Amino acid sequence: MHDFPPSVLTRCLLICLCGGLGTFLMMPTRRQFAKPAVVFALGTGLVAFAALNLIGLGAGPAPIVSRMFFYVFGIASVLGGTLMITARDPVHSALWFAVVVLATSGLFMMAGAGFLAAGTVIVYAGAIIVTFLFVIMLAQSGGKADYDRLARQPAQASLTGFILIWSLLIVILSDPNYHGGLEGSVEPVVVNSRLIPASDLVTVRKLMPEHPGAIVLGKTLTPQLSTPDHLGKGLPAGVPAPQVAGLGSALYTTHLISSEVVGAILFVALAGAVVIATPRKSNSAA
């Protein structure tokens, strides 16, 4: 655990309070479908303020192009998330959800987790959200229903959501591998995933921001190239192709039992879906 400077803690609290209140104000409620424009604008302002502060909390990757993409994806995911919750038309909500998924995949890609990015897009954007769209469109044939347009318990939902965000912020900021938020004087280190053999870890010396001048030894991953660094050139010789092969070998050696169990559960679910979906001939004939 780091000792937080009080300013960081205050800032986290401010972000969560403003964000929560703003989101609450922006959500459609039971009493009035169309909120007064002032309330809506106030909510938007608060959310924007919180989002800007959140961006200021982290320092993106160093190369300018990577940093640009990082901010574009980050802002798109935060904005998309807010709009997904506050949109009145469920189809728009589903589309904003797709934006969130795509932006998040972009962030995964930048962190070097390409397989995760592609998987997320294929599963969520390509299949699940399309299914949502199907259901929403077919269920809405008689015009838009009230229950589709209003939020059930906006106050409770905002409170819970932003308490979760607050705890996540604190956990992320107190992770010793995370350096972006605190002063930003240390070279950011690429840490993507935990599914990595110990042989890939190297010992590095790093500066700790809160103890100027002190050098601490730490374990970290072998520095990998971030995607934009080799965009123009291709991988230099000797750098092993990461990701898919590593993930596969980890899944089928260390985590063999878990993946087999997951596979079995999915197979059972598939069989169940087929059984449920098949029309029963005996009933219809009778």
Partner 1 sequence: MLEIIGLIIKISIVVGVTQGAVAYLILVERKIAAFSQDRIGPNRVGPLGLLQPIVDGVKMFLKEDVTPNYVNKPIFILAPFLSIVTAMIGFAVVPFGPVGPNGPGLFDGPIQFQIAPGIDIGLLYIFAVGSLAVYGVILAGYSSNNKYSFLGGLRSSAQIISYEIPMGLSVLGIVLLASSLDLNTIIQWQDKNAWGIFVQPLGFFIFLICAFAETNRLPFDLPESEQELVGGFHTEYSSMKFGMFFLGEYLHVITVSFLVVILYLGGWDPPFVSLGDSGWLMAILKVGTLITKVLAMIVFVMWIRWTLPRFRYDRLMELAWKRMIPLAIGNTVVTALILQLIRR
Name which position in 52, 76, 84, 95 contacts partner 1 (CB under 8 A): 95
Q: Does 143 bind partner 1 (CB under 8 A)?
A: no
Say how many CA atoms lie within 13 Å of 249 toward its Cβ.
Answer: 6
Strand partners, 187: none
Q: Any long-range contacts for 240-248 (C-beta under 8 Å, 24+ apart)?
A: 242/112, 243/112, 243/113, 243/114, 243/115, 244/114, 244/115, 246/195, 246/196, 246/197, 247/115, 247/195
Distance from C-alpha of 185 to C-alpha of 165, rounded to nearest angstrom: 25
Contact letters for partner 1, residues 29-48 (x by CB under 8 A)? --------------------
Q: Does 242 bind partner 1 (CB under 8 A)?
A: yes
Choose the binding region for partner 1 from 15-23, 91-99, 200-208, 211-219 (rule: CB under 8 A): 91-99
Q: Does 98 bind partner 1 (CB under 8 A)?
A: yes
Name which position in 137, 139, 163, 214 contacts partner 1 (CB under 8 A): 137
Choose the binding region for partner 1 from 18-26, 79-87, 89-97, 196-204 (rule: CB under 8 A): 89-97
CB of 193 to partner 1, least distance (A): 14
Q: Does 237 bind partner 1 (CB under 8 A)?
A: yes
Q: Does 126 bind partner 1 (CB under 8 A)?
A: yes
What stretch of H or E contains 44? helix 37-57
Q: Does 231 bind partner 1 (CB under 8 A)?
A: yes
Distance from C-alpha of 1 to C-alpha of 133, rounded to nearest angstrom: 44
CA-to-CA separations, 112 to 15, 105, 117, 118, in angstroms, rounded = 28, 11, 9, 12
Nearer to partner 1, 22 or 242 (CB): 242
In one-letter notation, the amino acid at residue 239 is: V
* Residue 219, Cβ density class (10 Å: 0-12 exposed, 13-18 middle, ≥19 buried): exposed
Q: Does 122 bind partner 1 (CB under 8 A)?
A: yes
CB of 25 to partner 1, least distance (A): 23
Binders of partner 1 among residues 55 to 74 (CB under 8 A) are: 65
In one-letter notation, the amino acid at residue 174 is: S
Angle formed by the axes of helices 6-26 and 154-174, nearest 10°: 150
Q: Does 128 bind partner 1 (CB under 8 A)?
A: no
Q: Does 244 bind partner 1 (CB under 8 A)?
A: yes
CA-to-CA separations, 207 to 58, 99, 178, 183, 234, in angstroms, rounded = 18, 37, 12, 12, 31
Contact letters for partner 1, residues 144-183 (x by CB under 8 A)? ----------------------------------------
Nearer to partner 1, 86 or 158 (CB): 86
Binding site for partner 1 (CB under 8 A): 65, 91-92, 95, 98, 105, 114-115, 117-119, 121-122, 125-127, 130, 133-134, 137, 227, 230-235, 237, 241-244
